[in-house]
Amino acid sequence: MDNYRIEHDSMGEVKVPAERLWGAQTQRSFENFKIGVEKMPPELIRAFAILKKSCAEANRELLPEKMTEEKLSAISAACDEIIAGKLPNEFPLAIWQTGSGTQTNMNLNEVIANRGNRIAGKKLLHPNDDVNMSQSSNDTFPAAIHIAAICETKRTLLPALSGLIDEFSRLEKENEGILKCGRTHLQDAVPIRFSQEISGWKALLDRSREQIILSFETLSNLSLGGTAVGTGLNAPKGFDRLVAEKISTATNHPFKTDPNKFHSLSSQDEAVFAHGALKALAADLMKIANDIRWLASGPRTGLGEITIPANEPGSSIMPGKVNPTQCEAVTMVAAQVMGNDATVGFAASQGNFQLNVFLPVIAYNYLQSVRLLGDVVESFRKNCVSGIKPNVEKMTENVNKSLMLAAALNPSIGYENAAKTVKRAFEKNITLKEAAVELRFLSEEEFDRVFRPEEMT
């Protein structure tokens, strides 16, 4: 590099680009881990800035002789800029670094210190002594994962999910009374109302939302105060509880200190549990998207029971073809989230002694799942679900053709005679009524009296 300044750490001097706010440890990591293109998620950086500001506030109350009001003001101002997304280029480090995330913790410490010094107009802050006061990478990174996971889920995913649930509620009300063929094992089954089918989709999402919110209970535990190995070395008494209160105020979410820091530093079971709820949502979205694209298949040789919006041409060779692209995007995201869940689970199993050293990959996969699910749920609602229309004529035709309506005959002629009626109707390509009369199980008048598909739902 042509334009640089000299920074130093415990290992010696390092050249750092002159325009950058980071310091020696960030630069070493940047040079030593040129692996992949995956960088620390901005959601995690924001959570770290919230954490660092809250730690400084707690230190101001507990260690006022070390954390002066002037230092707190400079740290807070720098953190506020990071929280607002004003310094995105100052956090260049790869996911594939030390498994504790130490270099990213130091990246935050260095940027906050250097930016705070510029704000103060003098050499006021030290990355380790001031910004990292009462902390270790080992307790800050797990805490930042929990903060980012909850904050981003509440900010993006839950509002999008609620919007999709509301859309299905509207569709359910608008499509009451429409009779259609039910299907099990991909085969015709007894009738169902279209509104009932939609209510099932809505209930899947309702339950997923409940499970995601339920996962916040344990995810709200914070490791801060455990410092290096869980003993709280170099952290003042009460720091863990006070900093949890500060973070709760900053995020408007009730975070609390983990009662056992030896657990919170070495285990990521809360992330596994919470990401399991995201995987459950992905599974539900996969089912709903598949149902919708099957029901919209055709338009002439498929089921064709609903129509969905035609958003873009579907083929470079077949003119006029329109594909269920939004459904396909949903299913691809679902597949990615399920893969992320496997990564999170395996990474969480690798806690050795007093620390888990797979933290960056857990953070990356968890936050990618939240981001993808939030985006695809909103896209699916806006570009597909909002435009679903029933093809009532096709639904009625399929109901009338279904041989499984013979279940309505069971009380009158018994299961075995009803089965014979179905077999005769299928073999001769005639209606159930014609088959029942031909087999002399019922007269036409008796059949009309007992055969009421609308009452089967």
Catalytic residues: 185, 315
| Distance separating alpha carbons of residues 409 and 293, to the nearest angstrom | 32
How far is residue 180 from each of residues 14, 196, 209, measured CA to CA in Å? 71, 10, 28
Exposed (0-12), middle (13-18) or buried (19+): which is 189, by Cβ within 10 Å?
middle
How far is residue 18 from each of residues 27, 127, 364, measured CA to CA in Å? 12, 18, 29
CB-CB contact of 106 with 26 (8 Å): yes
Residues in the chain: 457
Total Cβ atoms within 10 A of residue 200: 14
**Looking at this protein, which amino acid is placed at residue 406?**
A
Residues 6+ apart with CB under 8 A from 320: none
CA dihedral angle for residue 75, residue 77, residue 82, residue 87, rounded to 10 degrees? -100
CB-CB contact of 45 with 22 (8 Å): no
How far is residue 176 from each of residues 171, 180, 205, 392, measured CA to CA in Å? 9, 11, 20, 12
How far is residue 362 from each of residues 26, 50, 357, measured CA to CA in Å? 21, 20, 10
DSSP state of 32: H
Q: Where are the beta strands (DSSP E) in 301-376?
A: 306-307, 351-352, 355-356
| Distance separating alpha carbons of residues 349 and 344, to the nearest angstrom | 9
Residues 6+ apart with CB under 8 A from 446: 412
| Distance separating alpha carbons of residues 426 and 409, to the nearest angstrom | 16
The tokens describing 219, both together, are 């995810």
